Structure 1
Amino acid sequence: MQDHSSFRKMLVGIGFFCATCVAAVIGYRIAGWSLVDSLYMVVITIFGVGYGEVHPIDSPALKFFTALIIIAGCSSGIYVVGGFVQMIAEGEIQRALGVRRMSRGINETSGHVIVCGFGRVGRMLTAELRELGEPFVCVDSNPERIAEAEALGYLVVTGDAGQEETLNRAGIARARVLATVLPDDAANVFITLTARELTEEIEIIARGESTATQRKLIRSGANHVVLPAAIGASKIANMISCPSAGALLADPKHSERLRTDLHSLGLSLHEYPIAATSNVLGSPLGELQSSCDGGMLVVAIRHADETMLQNPPADQVIQAGDTLFIVTDHSNRLSLSRATQLKRPEIVYRGSRVQP
């Protein structure tokens, strides 16, 4: 913004200078001078050469006009030069003031996250932190990446995150978490070592590319190690092996793995086939759920024709031949079994219906 202001100042000065020259030529032409003499007089007058007048200036009006030309020409020339110098100087001044403001902003920040590396992962991480409202400081040795982060309004520190001085400028003594997400494993290990030497309290999350690096990062002082390649491979494998919730429930191998995962959370997945004499036959799912005080969730229904209904609505009517896939905690298994038990057979004794 300030650079544009200096450039506008130069344009105004140049315009005023040209207007002064044109007005001076016209004035001398009105006085009866030739065009060449008028131009020559303007040049030696405005630029202060002073070789002497081309023609005698003996009238008060011509003397006053020449004095005005000298004042206007010199002033506009100084104005142009001043704008040019200002445009050059403001870049350095603004840069120095920007660094000072940035340092003051970091010094006033505490409990923040230090993100080492503003590459592909660093950009995504900082975007998430900004969305969550978490304060953070970006550290990178690449001036172009730092300029990009600064343009986004982030607090930045230019320098090698493996150097103590750089981490101190990032406020590591007041930081809560340090995340080193550089694509270079060796750099992440060195940054982890440096950060752990500076403070024992900070939580360090490090990026790694191999399991061997994971062990080194843990020994270097990292609290958590994230392996993006391993996470991505696991996700792809799950998508290949478990393409849908229906396949997850229908395949015994996948269903068993789901039961194991739920068990670690204190939950269970059960299949409840609905017979023609079941208590819940013809009832909506919502009624079954209320009978268990809401401590269960029907995730799918497999009908008698083997079709699978995922996430059934509460008004779905339970039919004979259905199999309910229900997730519940261990304490609700008994009440759920009672709710779905078979109806007791009726006995007709001497014309009267009695329950056994």
Structure 2
Amino acid sequence: MFKAYHKLYYRLLYSISLIIVCILIGILGYVGLEGYDTLDAFYMTMITISTVGFGEVQSLSPHGKIFTSLLIIMSLGTFAYAITSLSSYLFGGDFRKLRKAIMEKRKIDALKNHVVICGFGRVGRQVAEDFARTNQSFVVVELDPARVVKYEEDENYNFVVGDATVDENLVNANLENAKAIITCMPSDANNVYVVLAAREMNKNIQIIARASKNETYNKLKIAGANSVIMPDSVGGSHMASLVVRPDVMEFIDEIIISSDYTPNIVAINYKNLPLKFKDQKLQVFKDAEISGCSVVGIKEQDGDYQINPSGNTLITEGCKILMLGDKEQIDNLRKYFEFDA
């Protein structure tokens, strides 16, 4: 997208440059051949290339007449090209498109802690819609322009139209300042490449990758993905669980994402905790009654989970505390600890 509009911009600059070069050639020619001063040479050049028909500053020598004839021929082609380019830029919608592309680029460059979504098919579109509802900023990298047209006017959506396997498009998506990237293209090979490229560009970014085949799972993990999701397997397991444990699964769905897309279970990072809570027993955290939320689990630094931990559990560096509550309780919790969930 940005490359296409750069070409348009350079074409416009090229047209203007041709006109300036044509004027300079005329000035130099009349100064050198006819001995005009700079002002008279400029005036003679302008009335010649504009073909307005005003009289000459002074009678031209034979060389001056030949030069004037050649200047007219050259200027006709130059001005025809320039006027076509300028008209297309101003009246053909190119100016509006270029301005929109520049504003979009500036908006994306200003993002911090956003998510980059590679691929805007069924999976990518669902991810983007959920992010839009929860006010999580994101940038979509999608090769097919037809897929993004419907969402282009939505301010929650930011697009880079291009191939996600081209590093330049990941750079345009401001991957350096993103907190996560989700690569959910239908091609496993493309997803592996994006994982490799993303890990090289941003060592600390969280990478979530889609896999269609079982044998791709390990490749994506080795490439640097933090999590690998197989939509078909996850969907099948979820449907089976709805048959075996319907009430439990419906409850889990409800507490993870409710009907109004408000997160009801969140994780608080150790680094966001006030000093009085760090390296203390969990009971101190529970006794504080900060928001009415309940502690339902702890994720240790090594990735292990403790479900329903006791009050004697230590809050150690690198851990995350999982909290459960309703919308109001979660909002109060977020304000108290100043974190995004």
TM-score by length of 2: 0.45
Q: In terms of Rg, which structure is larger?
A: 1
The TM-score with structure 1 as length reference comes to: 0.43
